[in-house]
Amino acid sequence: MIIRIRRPRALGQPLVFVSITLVILAAASFLLRSQQYKSIQLSEATDFTKPPPLDGTTTTQVHVIHSDTEVDSLQEVPTQEEFEEESRKLLDDPEEGAIYGNTLETLIDKNKRTAQQNKFLTRSGSEVPYSIDEPYIFNPYPRYNSRAWKSSHSAYTPCLGPTGKEVEDIHVFKGHPSRFPEPGFGSYDLLGIDKNLCFERRTRLGPYGVAPMEDKDGLPFDWETADWGELQLQCLHKNKGRFATEYPANTFSDGDSGFHVATERKHKADGPADSIMKNMKRWWTPKKQYGSLTNMTGRTDKSATELRSAVLLRSYTGKKYTENDKQVIRSMVTELSLRTGGQYQVFLFVHVKENRDIWSDDEAYEDILDTAVPVEFRGMTVLWDEASMKLVYPKLSKEAIQVHNAQFLSVQVFMQKFREYDFVWNWELDSRLTGHHYDFLTKLVDFSRKQPRKGLWERNERFYIPSYHGDYDTVFRKSVEQAAGQDSIWGAPHLPVVNPIGPKPPLPAPELDRYEWGVGEEADLITLSPMFNPIDSNWVLRDQVWGYQSDAFPGKDLPRRATIITQVRLSRKLVDAMHAGNLRGNHVGSEMVAPTTALVHGLKAVYAPMPVFFDRPWNGTQLARWFNGGPRGQSGGLGSAMGWGREGRFQGATWYFRAVPPPRLYNNWMGYEDTGVGGTEWERSHGRPCLPAMFLHPLKDVRPTPKGYTSESRLPY
């Protein structure tokens, strides 16, 4: 694969004792490491069966833990029919649908926040015609160039936006709607996010196109004159003293693969893959007056220690960009890149589906870029295609290399050439964040950095349910460790097919650690959903393992984890390890590759429990039963909600690959009618919708809806 960026021409209550007892009892049969497995036959009608087998048989094999005492312990797996019955009963609850129809008219708790959170808010002195409340300026950024800042950082220089003026901060409203429920999963308080802020479309996205914009001369602004790639480079150049100009090589690459990417040194090209890598940045030629990052000088003292992250917005040729798509991309570039002075760099990462030789034919490349990408984003676009992946990873099979199974291959190749980024976010373009991008991501990163490694993988594999689990750092932590017993993961597992690159535990057993190992360590992987064990889960992609085998070790025995959705942050080290493994022919499916690589290499991975809401008023016990239904209260394994036939449990959630609340909430928030709520007439009677900060997925083609419109999100079965 060649990746090239084209610079366009200048353009004009806590766990109750009963719950703890149940967890301990469920774990009793797992406490010894010398466990054996026994198979039992279950009928096809059983809730957790696989899709009907091709040979017409009506049974499936399910493993049950068998203890040394010869006493079988059959885990109770409630059926999907039971779930659906409970779900139907909740339709009669007065709090059903409480996440919908909330407006600025019902805000409460306007002044409930921490002193630190209060520092981010200043009065705007402005009024809006649709609210009696004054919006506040929201500035969650560091106090750049303050005495504290300068003690450990180089100088920060503000950057210009597309209108030629310095970028400004968005506005928010204090409070949250009175009827809006607590999240079912995750916690604002745990992450340090202000739960008493409400985001409304005009104050949130107004600077990015929802409201009319003017240039620095007061004239109407034409967005097609913007060049978001050039703006990011200008900004980075102004702040060049804050970032590194020399970057580490990938020391994990397979030297026998014929594909040498370890350093930028000159070497004899051994084949097409080498040519691809050497040409990847051929068009990354910023305008001369700004120079390139690798030519910038300025890291002259130890204070220039800031880490950088790339954000890859996943797109494809043939996509029709809606106005909302454009507004969201503009907001991400502004809030993550321009406002931070280059701490982040945002790319439009476009999968070329056409079978054209764009890697050696410049005109073909230009044509794809000009027809597939809005003009304002062409300067920040990276093209890639699936065919080139086969050249880069010749040991992977045709099935393994398909983009559905190998979403991260292109990310890996990107990171081999763009070594200036310490981290990379793989970002789904059909997700939305109602809150502030920098604020939310910073809180996720901060939380992950603080996490100790002791019990981390066990915490990672459970949906955190505050109303059931109690305090995260005390009750939840201890109950999870008790459930894991002697099976707690401590460092990389001993596998004959993997040479771990992660650090070894400082102590021989986790019981000896006082929650110190890992605290302050940057996470190599941050996910937004649990990293569950797919083995025995009946998740449809659980057996996608290629390679990872030897004469004494079958690949099916590889311990693995998965996460849904693949919107995650990865470290350069993790990506390098993934890349090296794929060069050797080792691979697992897209949802498994990052968590599994982190697991087998002993790298730090963290599920950051962001708030997830439901359209029904499930209590904590119900949520634990239906979503952490695996062994010992895990989300994976036997009984997993991610299993075939059970994923419908997420239909009422705000984050999954199929769900109804995301489009309903977001359409209403944008002023569009959906399922009898929202739209101009509805807002005249009820007020302007607002939402707390939350991620939503999936959202396809956000655009004005016709009268009577109702969102649907159906599973493929």
Distance CA 694, CA 691 (A): 8
pLDDT tens per residue across span 590-608: 999 999 999 999 999 999 9
3-state helix, strand, coil in the chain (%, to 5): 30, 15, 55
Look at 175-184, 353-362, 652-661, 699-708 and tell me which has the smallest mean pLDDT.
Answer: 353-362
pLDDT at residue 575 is higher than 90: yes
Confidence band for 280, pLDDT divided at 50, 70 and 90: low
Q: Look up the pTM and report it.
A: 0.87
pLDDT tens per residue across span 309-345: 999 999 999 999 999 999 999 999 999 999 999 999 9
> Residue 274: what pLDDT?
60
Percent of all residues in the chain with a pLDDT value above 90, rounded to a whole number: 77
Distance CA 109, CA 92 (A): 28
The better pLDDT of the pair 717, 659 is held by 659
Confidence band for 82, pLDDT divided at 50, 70 and 90: very high
The average pLDDT across 660-665 equals: 98
DSSP code at position 404: T
> Residue 364: what pLDDT?
84
> Residue 9: what pLDDT?
37
The better pLDDT of the pair 20, 580 is held by 580
pLDDT tens per residue across span 41-54: 222 222 322 333 33
The better pLDDT of the pair 397, 269 is held by 397
Which one-letter amino acid corresponds to residue 396? Answer: L
DSSP alpha helices (H): ranges in 345-493?
362-372, 386-392, 409-417, 437-450, 456-460, 466-469, 477-484
> Residue 686: what pLDDT?
97
The better pLDDT of the pair 715, 633 is held by 633
pLDDT tens per residue across span 437-472: 999 999 999 999 999 999 999 999 999 999 999 999
> Residue 359: what pLDDT?
77
> Residue 263: what pLDDT?
28
The better pLDDT of the pair 420, 15 is held by 420
pLDDT at residue 259 is higher than 80: no
Say if residues 371 and 383 touch (Cβ distance below 8 Å).
no
pLDDT at residue 180 is higher than 90: yes
Planar angle of CA 659, 634, 553, nearest 5 degrees: 110
Confidence band for 73, pLDDT divided at 50, 70 and 90: low
Q: Under the phi-then-psi rule, with left for phi > 0, alpha for psi from -120 to 50, and beta for the rest, what region is 434?
A: alpha
pLDDT tens per residue across span 232-245: 999 999 999 999 98
> Residue 99: what pLDDT?
98
Confidence band for 551, pLDDT divided at 50, 70 and 90: very high
The average pLDDT across 195-205 equals: 98
Which one-letter amino acid corresponds to residue 192? Answer: G
Report which secondary-structure segment, H or E, holds 426: strand 423-428
> Residue 397: what pLDDT?
94
Confidence band for 387, pLDDT divided at 50, 70 and 90: confident
pLDDT at residue 706 is higher than 70: yes
φ/ψ of residue 431, rounded to 5: -105, 160
pLDDT tens per residue across span 103-127: 999 999 999 999 999 999 999 999 9
> Residue 272: what pLDDT?
59
Which of 167, 146, 138, 147 shows the shortest CA–CA distance to 238?
Answer: 167
> Residue 250: what pLDDT?
82
Look at 197-201, 302-306, 471-475, 525-529 and tell me which has the smallest mean pLDDT.
Answer: 302-306
> Residue 338: what pLDDT?
98
Distance CA 265, CA 307 (A): 24
CA-to-CA separations, 157 to 144, 235, 297, 299, in angstroms, rounded? 9, 8, 16, 15
pLDDT at residue 38 is higher than 60: no
> Residue 232: what pLDDT?
97
Rounded CA Rg of the chain: 26
pLDDT at residue 282 is higher than 60: no
Which of 633, 644, 550, 541 shows the shortest CA–CA distance to 590?
Answer: 541
Confidence band for 14, pLDDT divided at 50, 70 and 90: very low
The better pLDDT of the pair 21, 476 is held by 476
| Alpha-carbon dihedral 188, 191, 193, 196, rounded to 10 degrees | 20
Distance CA 336, CA 328 (A): 12
Which of 269-278, 365-374, 514-523 has the highest mean predicted lDDT (pLDDT)? Answer: 514-523
* Residue 679: partners with Cβ closer than 8 Å, 6 or more residues away: 671, 672, 673, 705, 707
Q: What is the domain partition of the chain in residue ranges?
A: 98-138+163-225+659-716
> Residue 273: what pLDDT?
63
> Residue 488: what pLDDT?
96
DSSP 124-146: -----TT-SSPPEEE--S--TTS
Mean pLDDT of the chain: 86
Confidence band for 154, pLDDT divided at 50, 70 and 90: very high
* Residue 629: partners with Cβ closer than 8 Å, 6 or more residues away: 77, 78, 635, 639, 640, 641
